[in-house]
A and B are shown apart, each in its own frame.
Chain A
Amino acid sequence: MPKHTFILNGKRVHVDCPDDVRVLWVLRDILSVHGPKYGCGLNVCKACTSHINGKAFKPCSVPISDIKTDDEITTIEGLADTVKGELHPMQEAWLEMDVAQCGYCQPGQIMAAVAKVKQAHAEGRKIGDKDFDEIRNICRCGTYHRIREAILAGAKKM
């Protein structure tokens, strides 16, 4: 069986599995990293949003063979370790606004938010309504308003 290796949350991992298994299942079913959630497997709901080399991607839609040896994948479990302090500012903002309801979509929402804010900052602008329209993550509990408030608050500290 093909062997795959990459960096996951700062540590090198090795996996034996067929090339076409999507990264989401490698993370969840083989490596027992459960932060990224399944919500559709179609790159639609975005519940599995994680980072690859600092950018947001959807592990449900990437075969493991597309991941290169030096690629760094960060899931919600590893987000705090990318910054100083106990939590990432976006996680802090999430707590402050009491964003979550059931919590199922929230790892994906936070990972998407961090990437969107970085993208806006890299383009030299503040995050705004147009960016929110591009965040496709479903929150079936409907806590979108607090998600927006938290992103604005978190962005100020990033």
Chain B
Amino acid sequence: MTVSVRPGHNAPTGSDDSAPGTSRRRFLGFLVAGPTLVAASQIAVETANPTPAAANVPTGPEPGDLYDLGQLQVLATKVTSNLITVEVHKDGTVSFAVPRAEVGQGITTTMAMLIADEMDIPIHRVHVTLSKARPEFQFNQLTGGSNSVRSLYAPVRHAAAIARKRLVDTAAARWRVDASTLTVKDGVIHASDGRSATYGSLTKAAAASRPLPMTADLKPTDHLRLVGKSHNRIDAHEIVTGRKKFAMDHDVRGALPTMVCRPPTIKGTVKRVRNRAAVLKMPGITDVVTISTGVAVRGRTFGQCIDAVRALKVTWADGPVGHASDADIIAELHKNELPLAVPDISPLAKTIDLAFTFCFASNSPLETGTAIADVRAKSAEVWACLKAPIVAQQAIADRVGMPLEAVTVHVVQGGGSFGRHLFHDTALEAAEISKKMRKPVKLMWHRTDDFRQGRVHPMATSRIRVTVQGDNVLTYEQRHTSVSTDFGHGFGDLVSSFAGTLPGFNFIGLAQTVFELSQNMPYEYGLTDQVLNEVDMDFVTGSMRNIYSPDVATARELMTDRLAREMGLDPYKFRRKFLKDDRGIAVLDRLAKAGDWGRKMPHGTAQGIALHAEYKGFCATLVELDCRPRTVKRKIEDAYTGPRVTKAITVVDVGLPINPRGLEAQMMGGMMDGIAVALTSSLHLRNGHFLEGSWDNYWYTRQWNVPPKLKVIVMPQTTNQPGGAGELGVASAKAAVACAYARATGRMPTKFPVNHDEPLGFDPLPTTPSVPQSPTNGLDKIY
């Protein structure tokens, strides 16, 4: 028997954003007899009123300054925070099925740290698994917006604290002593007379037979042993020994490798399969069926599926994008740019305009789209990495024509995401195939399809107009015009449902709301107006890591350097002068010192510095970029070399850093992404399809692009709340590289990545057959 504990809401003692302190905070929680109890309505009523949060926010022109997207998400998750439960088992272990996806960001490690700390047990006895889709979680089973730690920090600690208190109370009652005389160490409760009992031995007695409310105190933050100290990933050993299981590593009885032959244009559809019978006779192949996205084949090995996909002769209908190319999309975006409208200001003011273009990019994780589906007559079971599994469950139920409760959706570990797994494309496709074949399938996308038909970061333009007079910036207007971003229903529903509850904020359409709530202006630039306009061109898009910010911030930071020049100030000093927030200034100062800002650089090389504020955090990056011909043109076989970032430093303040080592990892990843989208990574649209089909076409950062000197500095705790981290590092890194490029070459880049219009560095793979054959000369290249 186990005891489950679920937390209640915060008692109204102390503000969420107060400075670090030592006061204990009492809160209400519940013991539950089983894991499926309904949420207490009291919590819903309480959280529907967000005004206490609004009381302390500063006034300012940007909605993102007042509330950010993350607060909206935290608000939406509070309604069901009572479903966050930890269980104490008889063997002394504690388990928690986190309603989030783990895609490398380290959420399972962070959760284990919080529980171990609050309960005083060794972290290796905390088992964090991923919860299957549970519709009762509503908005609390969604991974995105760098929000997991922000929204789970309080409820997980509460649940753990309630469990600890209940166990201590149980021991006190058994020994007839006062609970306050007992101490806990490593999951063992000790009495002053020497008696002791393990958590495991007490859990049966501690279990409740019916729901039981109780109060507990959270540990003061300065009593926490793990929070704030670096901890290695809890799955590291599994990873380095090859035992960590991703979707395709799960053995589901009868689920055979399955792949899809996809169209030569984006979202094209099957008209006719001309040789189905012949392909069915190929070695290993068991099934060939037409589905909504192409033609699926199932076989003994993926290699044989590749052979079958290549052999298929399919007549296709063009997709909605038709035969468009990059230039057509840019022209369409320009047509839709909203006018810049400088308000009536001083006639002595000077106007500066800048315009930028950001190309399509791929968030392609290294693990391609994968899912296992077993659709039977009356039930279905799916295994996939899903950031919005409840939405996936509903979509799959609809697709296979079953009631929701007949569909079980397991969330498995993901090999990266970068926004990709907010969508359930592969899981839905697998379910459709399994239903049509009437067999379990193990579906895997080919890499080439993942680039060409997978979700993309939409192409966008950004125009900025500022007016300056003397040492003041009077106005700042930014018109961001983008191919529509698909946010997926999970995220979309959350934002649409809750945006209206923010005081003074009117829902203005999904994308515009996301844009407004994620874009704040860190500088005192006077009257500020940032607007998004979207153009729906029916591409398959998604919110790639940090959504709009890497583009918007790069444009803003280049303009910031331009303004600094206008006023004859150094880029660092200019930023420092115009920054609104002391936390931002502290981050920038630390960075300038650590990065030796302003040191003399050889001709053709330069430093760049940039700052970004989001997710209640501040992040600034300094890079040194080498644009000298001998560096740009250095030869590495089948590689794009280009300008080299020789040094990169990021300083980050997330408020309360829980696991600095994990945070550093997220920042490092963000820096590699930023370098990629600034210098090398983009998709070229030609004649209705993307040309890139392999990692040697799509130049994500590789070892030869990695800065030889790299450092991440985590600022000490500045608030009592953890901010978001997963996406925070991208924007300032991209912007810093862009600024350094402008300073090193004397030419401000206006199109990103800067190499996009250079001659292609590769021969594009054909679109028919849709996937290339694997090479056979692997033994020629051993080392």
Contact = CB atoms under 8 A, between A and B. Distances in A.
Interface of A: 17-18, 20-26, 28-30, 32, 34-45, 47, 52, 55-63, 66, 75-77, 80, 87, 91, 94-95, 98, 100-107, 110, 115-116, 119, 129, 132-133, 135-148
Nearest to A23: B778
B778 A106 contact: no
B416 interface: yes
18 contacts: A21-B303, A22-B776, A34-B242, A38-B248, A45-B366, A57-B778, A62-B776, A101-B665, A102-B414, A103-B415, A104-B415, A104-B416, A105-B366, A107-B240, A136-B639, A138-B700, A144-B703, A146-B665
Nearest to A131: B703
B22 interface: no
Contact of B671 (A39, A57, A87, A142): A142
A145 B103 CA distance: 19
A44 B301 contact: no
Given A100-B236, A103-B239, A116 B783 contact: yes
Interface stretch (B220-228, B498-506, B704-712): B704-712
Contacts of B772: 42
A29 B301 contact: yes
A104 to B, nearest CB: 3
Interface string B621-656: 000000000000000100100000000000000000
B104 interface: yes
A55 B783 contact: yes
Contact of A145 (B106, B235, B668): B668
Given A28-B248, A42-B772, A80-B241, A62 B778 contact: yes
Contacts, number: 229
Contacts of A23: 778
A110 B236 CA distance: 13
B105 interface: yes
Contacts of A22: 303, 774, 776, 778
Q: Give the 6 A-B residue pairs with the shortest CB-CB distance, closest first.
A: A102-B104, A142-B672, A35-B242, A104-B415, A61-B778, A76-B242
Nearest to A65: B776
Contacts of A139: 366
A142 B668 contact: yes
B757 interface: no
Contact of B701 (A20, A35, A135, A144): A144
B702 A136 contact: yes
A103 B704 CA distance: 21
Given A61-B777, A142-B669, A30 B236 contact: no
A101 B104 contact: yes
A109 B306 CA distance: 25
B304 A21 contact: yes
B241 A38 contact: no
A98 B236 contact: yes
Chain B interface, >50% SS class: loop
A143 to B, nearest CB: 6
Given A38-B302, A62-B779, A100 B367 contact: no
B536 interface: no
Nearest to A29: B301
A133 B644 CA distance: 13
Contact of A39 (B243, B302, B447): B447
A4 B346 CA distance: 83
Interface residues of B, number: 75
Contact of A25 (B303, B703, B782): B303
B364 interface: yes
A40 B364 CA distance: 11
Nearest to A24: B303
B161 interface: no
Contacts of B300: 17, 29-30
A129 B187 CA distance: 47
Given A62-B776, A75-B242, A104-B415, A57 B367 contact: no
A144 B779 CA distance: 26
A150 B480 CA distance: 42
Contacts of A58: 778, 781
Interface string B596-621: 00000000000000000000000000
B246 A56 contact: no
Contacts of A32: 251
B217 interface: no
Given A34-B245, A95-B240, A144-B701, A25 B366 contact: no
B444 interface: yes
Contacts of A36: 242
A20 B304 CA distance: 9
A123 B694 CA distance: 32
B233 A98 contact: yes
B778 A140 contact: no
Contacts of B29: none
Contacts of A103: 104, 235, 238-239, 244, 413, 415
B710 A145 contact: yes
- Max count, chain A CB within 10 A of own CB: residue among B251, B283, B446, B782: B782
B661 interface: yes
B774 A42 contact: yes
Nearest to A94: B240
Contact of A77 (B241, B669, B673, B710): B241
Nearest to A145: B710
A32 B251 CA distance: 8
Nearest to B366: A140
Contacts of A21: 301, 303-304
Interface string B100-138: 000111100000000000000000000000000000000
B301 A38 contact: no
A155 to B, nearest CB: 15
A129 B707 CA distance: 11
B695 A144 contact: no
A40 B782 contact: no
B695 A40 contact: yes
Nearest to A80: B241
B775 interface: yes
A29 B306 CA distance: 13
A95 B695 contact: no
A103 B246 CA distance: 9
A107 B244 CA distance: 10
A29 B243 CA distance: 16
Contact of A110 (B238, B240, B284, B707): B240
B8 to A, nearest CB: 34
B366 A148 contact: no
- Max count, chain A CB within 10 A of own CB: residue among B105, B365, B367, B368: B367
Contacts of B763: none
A98 B695 contact: no
B257 interface: yes
Given A28-B248, A40-B695, A144-B706, A102 B365 contact: yes
A36 B236 CA distance: 16
Contacts of B782: 52, 55-57
